[in-house]
Chains A and B, each alone.
Chain A
């Protein structure tokens, strides 16, 4: 009898134990980063793609089964995913990835968050009291999260600790060089004034020294209104700004409308890896952001 049980367990083993660390990223940038650190030792997928607004996706059945199987979940956090992640975690029945456990990594916990506020009055729109969650647009933050992510992978999969650490130091080297390049190229746009569709870019602005002078959304999270666009037109008719920027999933109507009337160039910037054809990985993503800004500004 005991032998039989043992046999069954042995037969089941390949189905139960999995060699790879399964990583579920909430956003594509963390999936890309996980691939950099984990390489071939992990299996990674992203809950959202670059053309989706990560605030508003559905808690789809396919994502629930991904949560069920995940060993590590990596999300921006700071309430970015509040509309769907809690439901996935509740329905996913996986204690290993609940907040507070090593299998749950909230990236924004490891960086300096901007716009932290005690004011969560909803008349101000979709306010995130814990700070602006779009932390990925400053490449220095990517490096901080890379550290934290490596720690977690080492913790969860000690057998491959060396690989993860090796990959991290390799990534750090390449990333540091790349950042120097971006910062040099972007020196010419320091101090340029930006009108953003949504407050998705404040970390990019802080990094490159851009100045955000307005947003197309009058109230955060609520689509731009005609009256607000009218008042922006009045304010910026004489070119009081240098760029109007938006993410791929934000409608181009509002930025095009204002751009046509003010002559301020409207620029689409990838908010994450995959946001444009050029942004194929973490490196080309920032290349493309800088390229697009320089091109739009004729710099």
Chain B
């Protein structure tokens, strides 16, 4: 193939140079040199073209000829995957190079209550943190922006910035911002920054992966929704067949149930121990225990305009259990989840009620929830959840205050149905019969959750 192409080029060259007959020897020499140069150039370019053609042919026929390729050493597959060296560079020099995985989660909802949600309270359990009913009527939920990437070969980073609407104002929050090690030895990893504590099963799950539109009552009352704080988390994974993870956290103690960044900004500690395994191909389970000790200084709870202040220590013990079933592990077709958590807490310190001096408070409270979610066929799921709280009597000094529990234990029953077109979209209907507040409340909710961009894998 080279000969005819070269021939044509030579004819072109000669015809174009023919009228320029040389006047003297030096000019002829110069022309000869130029010609030689051009010839070399053309030959190089033809060789390059032939290389590219070869490459293309190799790619086109490789499916049929991989055996041959694999058997001869010089055509290893890695070679056929070299980037095209003649392609125009697509980089702009690096200034705009950006690698983080970026994802956005859109959430919206509509809730209807038979009571005024602004007056919602659970007697004996003044709510703190983010706890409480979702806004009534049509409302935008948190729009969550997730950005994550490996920092370098040793660290990875995660950022979650929710944009929320609070009382009509757009509020940008910093929900998670952490760095985690990837290469510590001996099964260790260290996370630093702002993160959801790893206590309990649901605490570190983002709202878009919950199976109900709201958190169980134990999370709302004991953890202010979800416990989130700034600090360090060390995790150790045992090198055993049985999954066994131990974790310890030390955090600032700025968020409910801690408060006021006590002890010079080292206000809370947490521990967790978690295990899990499979039973055949269709069943798997996870169980764990967690402990949180949080110091509170002037921690506000209850009515926002007229809060109660607690100073003292919270000890919270948690037990979690999750059982998942899917025929042969194919959860996309059919699956069933049983999930239960129990929490017990003691708060020891003093409460300052509006217009009073601090009163001593030492009280035990507990609660649990139990939920099941069933997917009978692809895309559709139904779920049931039962919530219960109970509290000891904190003493007659608290009669008539929000800290005095009602005679009946607060309880709640919820049912939900959701439809997911793909793993990136979900529409949900939920009904909750709430006997936690007073009087009984019938709550209907509609919710959507959509995700675009990068979407990290979900944990078990």
Contacts and interface: CB of A to CB of B under 8 A. Distances in A.
Contacts of B274: 61
A97 to B, nearest CB: 11
Interface stretch (B23-31, B70-78, B355-363): B70-78
B328 A62 contact: no
A112 B63 contact: yes
Contact of A93 (B81, B235, B285, B329): B235
A271 interface: no
Contacts of A59: 457-460
Interface stretch (B136-144, B179-187, B338-346, B402-410): B179-187
Given A65-B243, A93-B188, A87 B70 contact: no
Contact of A61 (B77, B184, B284): B284
A95 B272 CA distance: 23
A198 to B, nearest CB: 11
Interface size, B (range): 35 or more
B239 interface: yes
A57 interface: yes
Contacts of B423: 56, 83
A151 to B, nearest CB: 10
Interface string B230-254: 0000011111111111000000000
B187 A68 contact: yes
B66 A249 contact: no
B51 interface: no
A58 interface: yes
B354 interface: no
A53 B330 contact: yes
Interface stretch (A28-36, A135-143, A152-160, A237-245): A135-143
A9 interface: no
B71 to A, nearest CB: 8
Interface string B426-460: 00000000000000000000000000100011111
B67 A143 contact: yes
Contacts of A83: 423, 457-458
A60 interface: yes
A103 B429 CA distance: 45
B243 A62 contact: yes
B263 interface: no
B286 interface: yes
B235 A206 contact: no
A82 interface: yes
A251 interface: yes
A65 to B, nearest CB: 4
B187 to A, nearest CB: 5
B460 A61 contact: yes
A14 to B, nearest CB: 13
Nearest to A85: B457
B159 to A, nearest CB: 15
Contact of B330 (A60, A126, A147, A249): A249
B456 A87 contact: yes
A291 interface: no
Given A112-B62, A140-B66, A222-B422, A58 B331 contact: yes
Contacts of B352: none
A94 B235 CA distance: 12
B193 interface: no
B237 A64 contact: yes
Given A56-B330, A87-B458, A143-B70, A65 B77 contact: no
- Counting chain B CB atoms within 10 Å of each CB, the highest count among A56, A60, A64, A100 belongs to A60
Interface of A: 48-49, 51-53, 55-62, 64-65, 68-69, 82-87, 90-95, 98, 100, 109-112, 114, 122, 125-126, 138, 140-141, 143-144, 147, 172, 176, 179, 203, 206-207, 221-223, 249, 251
5 contacts: A52-B328, A58-B324, A65-B243, A68-B237, A69-B241
